[in-house]
Every structure is written in structure tokens, then in C-alpha cells.
């Protein structure tokens, strides 16, 4: 198969294509199990295989994909034909940043392949999770396990050949209850990074049981709580909402394709402009953020992106100043040309496709915030006059240029004079993105830093779901409107 | 139509009959094409041909499924899929109820919503539509983005219960055009949903884009003061709100799982405005309807609200099995939601802009990134996007920066609903995650809702 692919790469180059690549996925397996109130509502497995071909012709992209590999030549020809039509309307001919030709393989860290674990064992594990949630005050209990195993062979007309085998494990538990006014509330826990591998071995029942106890107890506190007041307070974000704040208002606005207008028809643009790199004060001095695809053991670390560029640890915001973006080979060339200066010396290796039948686009890797010097969560609370601690992502809604946002949380704890006083329900907060990050007044130390896995970041047309990570500390932001 | 896939399904059924469990086979074939525009160029031109086979095994109260994206020329691999599903079902935990196995009493084939001319529209044809709709509107600063997605979907089903099959075939297209000013950052949009080639109307797109570009080029821009406004929503915004109703209001399973704003006691009650009549109407071809559900139940118009009175929940077979309800023919990938038009004769944006008015009207065509803040309270939040206009009482027009609304849907469609246009349009709500599933909602061209508050107002575009 690889020989056939290479012959077609050469053939299309000879037909006038300036660049061709092929991602052949011999198999991508998934296994999704959902238990709801003791019922195994979903026991689903899937397998997909196919090829995706990307062709650059006279500065325009064509793409074609098929699951039927009986005539590979047709799939290559269709991609070239699509590029020829696209070449009729070109305004900025696509160029690709230089990269080295690579022959390598990447295997994600895994001790026990979850696809080798018998289904009955997985179901038994879910039953134990469900039992741990079956407690007073809980009306609905949910447990999910999601496993992915994909094999990808990448080859391009510049001589790169890269093989990847990636295994992902995602797990989630949640409980719902109803307060005396009849309003439903939810408390959830998702498995983050633990240890050096993320195979079946990362599902530690004791860890889930501890968190089940905690979320059930917190749900019961919320059910009895007063409603979050409308107020301006310091908000202290725990990892269960801090990851999403980082994702939506640092990650997405710093995708270079968004900044260059490639997502304007759907996902939106970015308030960031090319002039801002090196100048914009994105946040306070305490904020240092990075796209780190070298972070060990995370879905945002994948060896090489789908341009064949190696993983990088790339600074995005340096002590508050915007310095970098999430980039691929095409966009860095266009950005540098449009800015008439070298902002991005090379691709940062963040161009990824969700499946063989989608085209790679700029995706988050691990968008992390460096731990700070403001101590533990207790230290931060002790130094907060009027605040609220928030956790859990209940809803998120962000402006189309990521310039403002509204988040609802599962739980809030009011803080007065350095002490936690009350739990509140229906906690929300909203702000302008830049004002908010510039109001960052405390960043927790390494004891507060966690890596949260995200299994379902959506982007692009056609839509693509991507897996990634966020390493984030507890952070405090001042004078934020809550309760609206 | 090629019968190859039906033959394959029949052979697979015969193979499945030897298994101790029952098997349902769901075939999905998509031919998808998408031309994407950005910065006035074609940024991507794709075609995908994908065949999915989902095999569900039933064994009393046990159920498991296996899906493949595959190739019909590999019969051994397809049979493996049946083996895998049949093996999985042995090891799953029994449900607390017995799921119903689909059973087709006769073969059924519906190709009424299939137009090969639309499904097979070439890249060159799509480019021509975009060029016609934007003639004279693009400049160095005003640049075109958008998508033209078109394709065909074939769904076929067979089960071990009978040799009969169900086949559904549709063609669809979604056109979104955005003109955005690269420095000033305003953006305007025009969209169309098509089921057949004749539904495409580049001139109408040109007319709407031209009107909006004129406004955003010449009328003053403004940050709106926070406060309460009478708002006219366009089709995209109304369709988004209706889609949220479908999710958190009329879905029986969601109600039983504590994620809904209506309950069973409200059936028969006046819960929304008398202007509000919403049905699932599979007779509307523009919605890519399925006139049988995946259990074989005939689908006929199903009222959710009649003049504001709540008529009942939609029950999929699985939710009905679990909660002891009667299935309502809603075991489908998408409904055919249709919100009836009202009494106001306003069919175009130009007509809306120049209609006499008693106060300022804020026109919001599109709600970006809406999410549910609190399902029980029907509280949602989202921001305006794509060409909002403040139609001033004195007849002048201001182009406002984007604003955020955080509101209860039951208020929007309840006391606050002032009027709906007589004219209705299909709005394409297809998501392109996973398998192609063309979906459109029929909505009035405009909907006026009074006294809604804006909770955030941007200081620039
Ligand atoms: Zn995302």
C-alpha cells in the first residue's frame, strides 16, 4: 500500500501539483460505553479505514477522501481535480513553510491497550462507577468510558514518511439532582492526566470513588444553596473551569487560521491582529502561556502534526505579552507575508485532522499556563477579600472574535475576608477577554497545576472534533461580574 | 438507483439469521462535497465518499452496536462486523427494560427529496453561484468567506425480523456567504438551504448581501447602551432558538433525565404565545424529511405547540421503551421542524428596514455560540453576529456592534413574542460532524420579540 501511495505522489507531482500528501488510516477503532442510572445505554464499537489526499496546485488546495480503496488512483485524481477548480479563485497563493523531511514513528504512552480488555470487564468497571454515584440526593447518574486507537501512515511529496499509533482513554462521571424550586443541577468529574501512561491502567477505581464521594457531596450542597448573587468579585477558577477559560479565550483566539480570517464563515475570527504579536498586553505580568505538544502523556502530544512537522513547545504569552500562535505550514507563510515581517520563523506543528476524511487545520496542542508564585489554593483564598471560587463547566458561550464570554459553573463558594463562607448555585461569570486576563491577580503554584484532557474540541467546516490537553494552575481574576 | 447495497444488506441478513441474537443493519452512504471560501479565494475544495454500516445486536434486554466506515467490496469484513456485534451483545449488562427490535412489515423507499442535479453539482457550478452572488461587492478590504456544501445521502435498513428494507435518499445543499471588512471587522451574511437545484437563487443572495454592505458602508456604527430592546430575529436566530426547543423542551427522554424546561403536567396547557405553532412536519420536502422512522413507524405531522398550547413530547423508541411511553415516530436522525408563519407581511430585509415603526427595533439575524445556562429555566445565552441593524424610530439605520442576550426561551416564545412574518423560509441547520445528516428548520422570515435585555455590548466590531 505504501509503495502504491508513493507512486501516486510522484504521479501527481509530475502532473503539475506542487505538493501532495496522503494520510492512510488502516484502522481507527473506537469504543464508547455509557451507563445512565444503571442502564448500559450505549455499548458501541466502531472501526474506520481509508485515505485522505491533499494536493496543492497553482497555489490552491484540493482534498479527496474515500473508504473504498479498490482504486486509489481515482481518489488522488479527484483531489487534483478539486485543486484545479479551486485554483480558478486564488488571492494569496498557498506556500508552505520549510520543514525537514522526516522518517519516524510515534507511539503514545500506554501500558494496557484498552482494546485488549474484554468488554465484560469494561462493563463491570462502569457498574462500579455507577454504584459509587448511587447516593442520597442523586436523581440521575452518568458514567462514560471512551477509548480511541488510531494508526496513521503519513507520506508526502517532500519525502517524509511518518507512522503513528495513538491510544486515548477518556472517562467521565456525573450526577444530577433537583433543588426545592424544581431546578436541576449537575456536578461532574472528568479524568485528567495521572502518571506516565494513559491506557486502561489509568482507570483507577479508588480515584473515581474519591471523586464520586466529592461530587455527590457537592451536589447536595448546591441543592440546598442560595442563588449566586449578582455582584462584582474576585473569581478563583479551579481546574474544572480554568481549563475551559484557557481553551476558549487563549487557545481558540490564537489559532493562526482564525486570525487570518479562515474561519469567518462559521466559527468566527479573533480579536488578535498580526500587528499584536510582540506588542499586545494580553494579560497581567503573571500570565505565561504556551502551546506545548511535548508535554508527556497528553492527547495534545502526538509526535508529528499532519503536515509532518515535529511537536514543539511554543511560547504564546510571555509574562503578559502576546508572542506566539498555534500554527501550521501554510498559515505562517501567509502571516509573515501579510505582516511584512517574520513573526513566525517556522510552523509550530499544530496542523491536525480528526480523521482520514478531513483536511488538517490549526488545532490546539496542550495550551498550558505556567504555574505561578502565589502559593496553594488555601494561600490564594486567604489573600482574597471578596471573592468566589468556581468549578465545573455547565455552559460556555463566547463572542465570535473571542472578545467576550459568558460561563456558567456547577458550583461556587463565596469567599469573604480570606474565608470560604457559603456554597451558591447557578453561579455564572462574564467579561471582556482582555480585561479579564489583565485582571489576573494570582496564579497558583505547582501544587495547583493539573493537566485536563479535552476529548471534543469542535472546529472547522466540515466540522472536526479534536483531542487535546490543558495544563493549568488555579488562578484568581479581580472585579469580575458574577451571577448574570 | 444501484441495488448493489440492497443485495449486500440481504446477504448480510441471511448471514445474521444464524446468530443466536437479533440483528438490525443500518447502511449510510454519503457523497459529500464542500467548497470553502476565505479571503476572497477558494481555500478548500473537498469530496468525500463514505460508506458506514452500523450493526446493532439485540438479545432480550441486552443491546450492543458496531459501526464500520468501510468498503462494500470486502464482504468478509462486513460479515466480521456482524460477528463482532453478536459477540459484544453476549458480554453487556442487561438493561432494566427490553429494547424493541425494528421490524419492517413492508419494503419502503422514499426518494422524493432527492434531486441528482443538486447532489452532483460540479465545483465549477458552485464557483459560478458564488461569483454571481458577490458580483461587484468584493473590494480590496471587503472580502468573501463562506461554504457551499452539497451532497447526497442514502440510508437503508434491514433486520433479522423480516426481509423487507427501508431506503431513504435525499440531496441537499447549504450555502453560506460572508462579506467581512478586513480592517473595520464588520461582517454580513446571506444563506440559502436547498433540497433541489431550483431552490438555489444567487440573485436573492446578491440582493441581501448588497443591501447589508450598503448599510455597513454608509450608516453610522454604534455601541448599544445596555438595556431593554424590541428585537426582530432573522431566520438563523429563530432556527437556533427552535433547535434549542427541540433539545430542552419537547424531547421526552431529556425531560425524564432532568434536562428540560417542560414537564408532563404542562401538556394541554397554554405555555407559549398564541402566535406560536410548532410541528414536526415530514411533508415539508425542504426539511429532507423521513416519512418512516427507523423503527418503521409512519411519520405524519406531529404538533408540539398549537397556538401556544403544549401538545406533547417526542418519544424515540428507546426512550419510550425505557420510560413506558408510546413511541411517536421520532426515532430519526432529524425532525422536520416547522414554525408556522404569523400575520405580519414582511418578507425581505429591505421591507423590514423601511416598515413604519413605533419605536427603535434591533434586528438580530444570527445568534453565535448559543448555550444552555440552565435547562429547567430555559435560560440560554448567545451573541449577535452577521449584520445586526438598529432600525431607528425616525427611519434611519445604525449598524450596532455585537451584543449578548441571556434570556429564557419560554419568555421569548411566550409573553414577549409580538409577531411573526407570514412568509416562511427553510433554514439549514446541518452539522457536518460525523455522518452527513442534512437538516433544515422552517421558520418565519422575521420574528419580533419585545422587551428583551442586552447584558453585554461590544465597544467595537
Ligand atoms: Zn474548542
- Same domain? A434 vs A333: yes
Size of interface A-B (CB pairs under 8 A): 251
Give the pLDDT of residue B72: 85
For B421, residues 6+ apart whose C-beta sits below 8 A from its C-beta are B341, B342, B344, B345, B346, B347, B444, B445, B446, B447
- Same domain? A195 vs A265: no
- pLDDT above 70: percentage of residues in chain B: 100
- Same domain? A86 vs A190: yes
CA distances from B13 to A182, B157, B172, B278 (A): 48, 10, 30, 39
Flag whether the ipTM exceeds 0.85.
yes
Tens-digit pLDDT profile for residues A431-471 = 999 999 999 999 999 999 999 999 999 999 999 999 999 99
Residue B143: all three cell numbers together: 472580502
Across B215-226, average pLDDT: 97
Tens-digit pLDDT profile for residues B57-111 = 999 999 999 999 988 888 899 999 999 999 999 999 999 999 999 999 999 999 9
Give the pLDDT of residue B24: 98
- Same domain? A85 vs A183: yes
- Same domain? A194 vs A281: no
- pLDDT above 90: percentage of residues in chain A: 99
Tens-digit pLDDT profile for residues A304-344 = 999 999 999 999 999 999 999 999 999 999 999 999 999 99
- Other Cβ atoms within 10 Å of B55 Cβ, number: 25
Cα B288 from Cα B29, distance rounded (Å) = 15
List of chain A residues whose C-beta atoms are within 8 Å of the C-beta of residue B376: 178, 182-184
Give the pLDDT of residue A68: 87
Give the pLDDT of residue A445: 98
Q: State how many domains chain A has.
A: 2
Write down the mean pLDDT value for chain B: 96
Across B216-233, average pLDDT: 97
Tens-digit pLDDT profile for residues B156-188 = 999 999 999 999 999 999 999 999 999 899 999
List of chain B residues whose C-beta atoms are within 8 Å of the C-beta of residue A38: 96
- Same domain? A187 vs A235: no
Distance (Å) from the C-alpha of residue A306 to the closest C-alpha of chain B? 16
Expressed in angstroms and rounded, the spacing between residue A244 Cα and the centre of ligand 1 is: 8
CA atoms within 13 A on the CB side of A278: 7
Grid look-up 462559521 returns A266
Tens-digit pLDDT profile for residues B183-203 = 899 999 999 999 999 999 999
Mutation for B interface: A29, A255, A397, A410, most B CBs within 10 A: A397
Q: Which of A173, A152, A174, A175 is nearest to A163 (CA)?
A: A152
Q: Containing H/E element for B9?
A: helix B4-16
For B366, residues 6+ apart whose C-beta sits below 8 A from its C-beta are B189, B234, B236, B237, B240, B384, B385, B386, B387
Tens-digit pLDDT profile for residues B283-327 = 999 999 999 999 999 999 999 999 999 999 999 999 999 999 999
Query: In the predicted model, is pLDDT for residue B365 greater than 50?
Result: yes
Give the pLDDT of residue B360: 96
pTM of the model: 0.97
Cα dihedral value B136, B140, B143, B148, nearest 10: 60
- Same domain? A61 vs A174: yes
Q: Does A176 touch chain B (CB under 8 A)?
A: yes
Query: In the predicted model, is pLDDT for residue A59 greater than 70?
Result: yes
Q: Which of A370, A143, A136, A346 is nearest to A250 (CA)?
A: A370
Indicate yes or no: CB of B69 within 8 angstroms of CB of A48.
yes
- Same domain? A354 vs A454: yes
Domain final residue pick, A191, A224, A257 = A224
Residue B16: all three cell numbers together: 445474521
- Helix, coil or strand: residue A25: strand
- Same domain? A283 vs A217: no
The shortest CB-CB distance from B69 to any of A67, A176, A461 is to: A67
Tens-digit pLDDT profile for residues A383-442 = 999 999 999 999 999 999 999 999 999 999 999 999 999 999 999 999 999 999 999 999
Tens-digit pLDDT profile for residues A77-91 = 999 999 999 999 999
Tens-digit pLDDT profile for residues A128-179 = 999 999 999 999 999 999 999 999 999 999 999 999 999 999 999 999 999 9
Residue A250 DSSP label = I
Indicate yes or no: CB of A66 within 8 angstroms of CB of B44.
no
Domain final residue pick, A200, A224, A248 = A224
Nearest-CA residue of chain A relative to B90?
A120
> For residue A462, is the peptide bond before it cis, meaning its omega torsion is within 30 degrees of 0?
yes
Nearest-CA residue of chain B relative to A62?
B45
Are B445 and B235 in contact, with CB atoms under 8 Å apart?
yes
Indicate yes or no: CB of B69 within 8 angstroms of CB of A47.
yes
Distance (Å) from the C-alpha of residue A79 to the closest C-alpha of chain B? 7
Indicate yes or no: CB of B38 within 8 angstroms of CB of A265.
yes
Q: Does A265 touch chain B (CB under 8 A)?
A: yes
Domain final residue pick, A208, A224, A240 = A224
List of chain A residues whose C-beta atoms are within 8 Å of the C-beta of residue B97: 39
Cα B388 from Cα B363, distance rounded (Å) = 5
Domains along the sequence of chain B with CATH: 4-218 (3.30.2290.10), 221-457 (no CATH)
Expressed in angstroms and rounded, the spacing between residue A209 Cα and the centre of ligand 1 is: 29
Query: In the predicted model, is pLDDT for residue B1 greater than 60?
Result: no
Looking at the DSSP bridge assignments, the partners of residue A391 are: A411
- Same domain? A209 vs A339: no
- Same domain? A275 vs A292: yes
Write down the mean pLDDT value for chain A: 97
Q: Show the DSSP H helices in B107-234 as ranges.
A: 116-119, 123-134, 202-218
Across A209-222, average pLDDT: 98
- Same domain? A211 vs A289: no
Indicate yes or no: CB of A406 within 8 angstroms of CB of B404.
yes
Tens-digit pLDDT profile for residues B329-344 = 999 999 999 999 999 9
Are A312 and A293 in contact, with CB atoms under 8 Å apart?
yes
Give the pLDDT of residue B2: 59
Q: Which domain holds residue A265?
A: 227-482
List of chain B residues whose C-beta atoms are within 8 Å of the C-beta of residue A223: none
Amino acid at each position: 500500500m505504501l509503495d502504491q501511495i508513493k507512486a501516486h505522489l510522484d504521479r501527481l507531482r509530475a502532473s503539475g501539483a506542487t505538493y501532495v500528501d496522503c494520510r492512510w488510516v488502516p484502522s481507527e477503532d473506537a469504543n464508547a460505553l455509557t451507563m445512565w442510572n444503571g442502564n448500559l445505554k450505549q455499548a458501541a464499537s466502531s472501526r474506520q479505514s481509508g485515505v485522505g489526499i491533499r494536493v496543492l496546485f497553482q497555489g490552491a488546495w484540493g482534498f479527496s477522501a474515500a473508504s473504498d480503496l479498490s482504486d486509489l488512483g481515482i481518489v488522488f485524481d479527484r483531489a487534483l481535480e478539486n485543486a484545479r477548480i479551486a485554483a480558478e479563485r486564488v488571492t494569496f497563493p498557498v506556500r508552505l513553510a520549510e520543514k525537514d523531511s522526516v522518517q519516524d514513528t510515534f507511539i503514545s504512552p500506554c501500558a494496557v491497550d484498552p482494546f485488549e480488555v474484554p468488554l465484560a470487564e469494561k462493563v463491570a468497571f462502569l457498574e462500579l462507577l455507577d454504584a459509587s454515584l448511587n447516593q442520597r440526593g442523586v436523581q440521575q447518574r452518568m458514567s462514560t468510558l471512551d477509548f480511541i486507537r488510531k494508526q496513521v501512515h503519513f507520506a508526502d511529496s517532500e519525502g517524509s514518511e511518518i507512522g503513528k499509533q495513538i491510544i486515548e482513554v477518556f472517562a467521565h462521571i456525573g450526577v444530577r439532582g433537583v433543588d426545592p424550586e424544581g431546578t436541576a443541577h449537575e456536578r461532574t468529574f472528568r479524568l485528567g492526566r495521572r502518571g506516565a501512561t494513559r491506557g486502561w491502567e489509568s482507570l483507577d477505581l479508588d480515584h473515581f470513588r474519591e471523586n464520586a464521594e466529592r461530587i455527590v457531596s457537592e451536589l447536595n450542597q448546591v441543592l440546598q444553596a442560595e442563588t449566586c448573587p449578582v455582584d462584582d468579585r474576585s473569581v478563583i477558577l479551579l481546574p474544572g473551569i480554568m481549563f475551559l477559560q484557557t481553551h476558549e479565550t487563549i487557545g481558540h483566539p490564537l489559532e493562526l487560521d482564525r486570525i487570518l480570517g479562515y474561519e469567518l464563515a462559521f466559527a468566527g475570527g479573533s480579536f488578535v491582529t498580526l500587528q499584536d504579536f510582540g506588542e499586545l498586553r494580553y494579560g497581567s505580568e503573571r500570565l505565561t502561556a504556551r502551546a506545548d505538544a511535548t508535554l508527556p502523556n497528553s492527547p495534545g502530544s502526538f509526535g508529528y502534526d499532519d503536515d509532518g512537522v515535529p511537536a514543539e513547545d511554543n511560547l504564546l504569552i510571555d509574562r503578559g505579552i502576546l508572542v506566539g500562535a498555534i500554527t501550521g505550514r501554510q498559515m505562517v507563510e501567509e502571516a509573515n507575508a501579510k505582516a511584512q515581517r517574520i513573526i513566525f520563523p517556522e510552523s509550530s506543528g499544530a496542523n491536525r485532522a480528526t480523521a482520514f476524511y478531513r483536511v488538517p487545520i490549526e488545532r490546539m496542542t496542550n495550551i498550558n499556563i505556567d504555574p505561578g508564585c502565589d502559593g496553594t489554593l488555601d494561600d490564594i483564598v486567604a489573600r482574597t477579600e471578596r471573592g468566589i471560587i468556581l468549578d465545573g463547566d455547565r455552559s460556555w458561550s463566547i463572542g465570535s472574535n473571542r472578545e467576550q464570554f459568558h460561563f456558567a459553573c456547577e458550583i461556587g463558594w463565596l469567599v469573604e475576608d480570606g474565608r470560604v463562607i457559603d456554597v451558591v448555585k447557578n453561579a455564572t461569570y462574564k467579561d471582556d477577554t482582555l480585561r479579564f486576563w489583565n485582571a489576573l491577580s494570582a496564579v497558583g503554584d505547582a501544587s495547583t497545576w493539573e493537566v485536563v484532557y479535552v476529548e471534543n474540541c469542535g472546529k472547522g467546516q466540515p466540522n472536526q472534533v479534536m483531542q487535546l490537553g490543558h495544563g493549568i494552575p488555579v488562578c484568581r481574576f479581580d472585579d469580575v461580574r458574577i451571577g448574570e | 438507483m444501484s441495488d448493489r447495497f440492497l443485495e449486500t444488506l440481504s446477504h448480510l441478513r441471511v448471514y445474521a439469521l444464524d446468530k443466536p441474537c437479533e440483528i438490525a443493519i443500518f447502511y449510510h452512504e454519503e457523497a459529500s462535497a464542500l467548497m470553502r471560501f476565505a479571503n476572497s479565494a477558494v481555500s478548500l475544495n473537498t469530496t468525500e465518499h463514505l460508506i458506514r454500516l452500523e450493526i446493532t445486536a439485540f438479545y432480550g434486554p441486552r443491546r450492543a452496536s458496531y459501526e464500520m466506515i468501510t468498503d462494500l467490496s470486502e464482504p468478509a469484513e462486513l460479515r466480521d462486523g456482524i460477528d463482532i456485534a453478536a459477540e459484544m451483545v453476549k458480554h453487556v449488562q442487561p438493561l432494566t427494560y427490553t429494547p424493541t427490535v425494528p421490524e419492517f412489515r413492508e419494503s419502503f423507499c422514499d426518494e422524493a427529496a432527492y434531486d441528482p442535479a443538486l447532489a452532483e453539482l460540479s465545483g465549477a457550478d458552485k464557483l459560478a453561484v458564488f461569483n454571481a452572488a458577490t458580483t461587484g461587492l468584493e473590494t480590496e478590504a471587503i472580502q468573501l468567506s463562506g461554504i457551499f456544501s452539497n451532497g447526497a445521502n442514502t440510508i437503508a435498513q434491514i433486520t433479522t425480523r423480516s426481509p423487507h428494507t427501508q431506503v431513504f435518499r435525499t440531496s441537499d445543499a447549504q450555502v453560506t456567504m460572508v462579506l467581512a471588512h478586513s480592517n473595520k471587522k464588520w461582517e454580513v451574511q446571506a444563506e440559502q438551504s436547498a433540497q433541489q437545484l431550483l431552490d438555489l437563487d444567487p440573485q436573492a443572495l446578491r440582493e441581501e448581501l448588497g443591501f447589508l454592505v450598503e448599510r455597513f458602508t454608509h450608516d453610522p456604527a454604534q455601541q448599544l447602551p445596555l438595556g431593554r430592546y424590541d428585537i426582530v430575529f432573522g431566520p438563523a436566530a429563530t432556527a437556533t432558538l427552535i433547535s434549542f426547543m427541540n433539545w430542552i423542551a419537547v424531547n421526552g427522554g431529556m425531560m425524564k433525565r432532568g434536562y428540560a424546561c417542560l414537564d408532563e403536567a404542562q401538556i394541554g396547557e397554554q405555555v407559549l404565545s398564541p402566535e406560536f405553532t410548532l410541528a414536526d412536519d415530514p411533508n415539508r420536502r425542504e426539511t429532507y424529511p423521513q416519512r418512516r422512522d427507523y423503527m418503521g413507524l409512519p411519520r405524519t405531522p406531529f404538533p408540539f405547540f398549537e397556538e401556544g398550547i403544549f401538545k406533547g413530547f417526542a418519544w424515540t423508541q428507546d426512550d419510550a421503551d425505557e420510560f413506558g411511553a408510546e413511541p411517536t415516530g421520532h426515532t430519526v436522525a432529524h425532525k422536520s421542524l416547522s414554525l408556522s408563519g404569523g400575520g405580519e407581511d414582511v418578507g425581505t430585509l429591505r421591507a423590514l428596514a423601511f416598515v413604519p415603526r413605533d419605536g427603535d427595533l434591533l434586528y438580530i439575524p444570527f445568534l453565535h455560540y448559543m448555550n444552555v445556562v440552565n435547562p429547567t429555566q430555559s435560560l440560554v445565552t448567545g451573541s449577535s453576529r452577521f449584520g445586526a441593524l438598529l432600525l431607528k424610530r425616525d427611519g434611519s439605520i445604525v449598524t450596532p456592534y455585537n451584543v449578548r442576550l441571556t434570556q429564557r426561551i419560554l419568555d421569548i416564545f411566550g409573553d414577549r413574542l409580538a409577531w411573526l412574518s407570514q412568509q416562511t423560509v427553510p433554514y439549514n441547520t446541518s452539522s457536518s460532524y460525523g455522518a452527513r445528516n442534512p437538516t433544515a428548520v422552517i421558520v418565519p422570515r422575521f420574528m419580533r420579540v419585545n422587551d428583551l435585555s442586552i447584558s453585554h455590548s461590544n465597544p467595537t466590531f
